Structure 1
Amino acid sequence: MSNKITVLDKGYVRLIEPMGSDLSVVNAARVSFDKESGRIDDRDKRLIQFLAREGHTSPFRHAFASFEIYAPLMVARQWFKYIVGSDHAMDGWNESSRRYITEEPTFYVPGKEEWRSAPENSKQGSGKPVDPLIGNMLMNEMENHIRKGEALYNFAIEQGICAEQARLFLPAYSLYVRWRWTASLQSICHFLNERLASDAQNEITQYAKGVYELVEPHFPESVKALVKQHE
């Protein structure tokens, strides 16, 4: 099984290291009674289901997984909300910075059939795809915008401007960034429930599907118990 899944046009999710297993969850729960399992059996599976159903989530914080993600900034900033907005996350997040690096910028440009209309009854989210003629026009305009931003960025660098200021010329939200995310199994499953939901933004949902596909084989019973949105 591959540990890397391609997402969008140039992005990916890569599983660096799973830490622990369903057995880690079971034994974290059983320590209350000074018990320990050597392998997962049907009784342990029922225990995992019970823990998830009754909201006894601390045992799920004894298993972790570490990922590398390459995604547009708009996806990264949505994702980061799960780090700063949770008191149980136990997450680590380290991101590449254009204060220090000047690698070739990479941008996400939706194809002509990927542009979506504004929703009719909500202030956020998106509606149906727009006419491909409009999508093609927007795609071309965005590519022109990116080329101009890159040219100004390179010009600033050539003039001796520091990278942390030159980056101001780059179109930010479509710019790909790379980061490493290490999280407890509870935090990962919380993220999956939120971003596999039907009202989640399409782009981050595609990344969530990648995370699910990579993490589920390592923690099958726990993911089945905790993640409710995956079809």
Structure 2
Amino acid sequence: MAKSNEFISVLDQGYIRLVNVMGSDLTVANAARVSYDKESFELDEKDEKLIRFLAREGHTSPFRHATLQFEVYAPLMVARQWWKYVVGSDHTMDAWNESSRRYVTEEPTFYIPDNDEWRSKPANSKQGSGEPIDYSDGKHFTGALMRYVDDGLAMYEKAIEQGIAPEQARLFLPAYGMYVRWYWTASLQSVAHFVNQRLAHDAQAEIQAYAKAVNALAVEHFPVSIEELTKHAKG
């Protein structure tokens, strides 16, 4: 694998870092051609045409021979949505390792939407968001969330100070907005599937922001494959 240190900031304190990359667009083309005992050594127009054909016709196995590894720092609500694409995916070569507050006692960090970032409930949809709410109402909810986080942190720190095990003390932490860190290793096909699903118009805005970052990092290394596999997500 080729080591990478490409990094994109997301939300207020989150990020995605591309740690490792195995393969390229040429890997995909050669994986498809092995059935005919053929191999290319430099990507050309024929290879690009082949990749477009594979993506268009749904021949996805060649895209599983390339792999990307990301380090992600995101709110727990994003992590748990993301996790569905590991446990529920039929794509091979997915792995997930997450930090645990059973062992890590670093200072907790939380996602706090700004006053103008609160969204209304959509009128006729079971998921997603509506229009932004009034700024003054947003200011109220931002303040309330900050107070809630402060209270939880105070109780968490008090429990730690009084000898409660971290694995139980963490119960006091407001969970869904707390940032967690994990490594996600996935095939190129799996990465494209995640991007397609989480760039959809009804996806939660916060995870859309991470999907855009994943796409931006992946397309630098697999420009033809990502473009073809994610066309409908951009339309």
Alpha-carbon displacement from aligned partner over 1:144-200 (angstroms, at most 9, x marks no partner): 000000000000001100000000000000000000001000000000001111111
Alignment of 1:89-104 (within 5 A): 89-104=92-107
Contact 1:82 1:89 in 2 (8 A): no
How far is 1:224 from its partner?
Answer: 0.9
Contact 2:15 2:73 in 1 (8 A): yes
Q: How many residues align?
A: 231
Q: Which one-letter code corresponds to 2:153 in the other structure? A: E
Task: Tell me the TM-score normalized by structure 2.
Answer: 0.96
> Which residue number corresponds to residue 108 of structure 2?
105
Distance in 2, matches of 1:196 and 1:116, equals 18
Counterpart among 194, 202, 205 of residue 191 in structure 1? 194
> Which residue number corresponds to residue 64 of structure 2?
61
How far is 1:89 from its partner?
Answer: 3.9
Listed as ranges, the gaps of 5+ residues in structure 1 are: none
Alpha-carbon displacement from aligned partner over 1:106-132 (angstroms, at most 9, x marks no partner): 000000000000010012211000001
Alignment of 1:1-231 (within 5 A): 3-228=6-231, 229-230=233-234
Distance in 2, matches of 1:7 and 1:89, equals 27
Q: Matched residues, percent identical?
A: 63
Listed as ranges, the gaps of 5+ residues in structure 2 are: none
Q: Which one-letter code corresponds to 1:126 in the other structure? A: S
Runs of 4+ in structure 1 displaced over 4 angstroms? none
Contact 2:5 2:19 in 1 (8 A): no
Distance in 1, matches of 2:128 and 2:201, equals 11
Contact 1:60 1:184 in 2 (8 A): yes
| 1:49 partner SS | helix
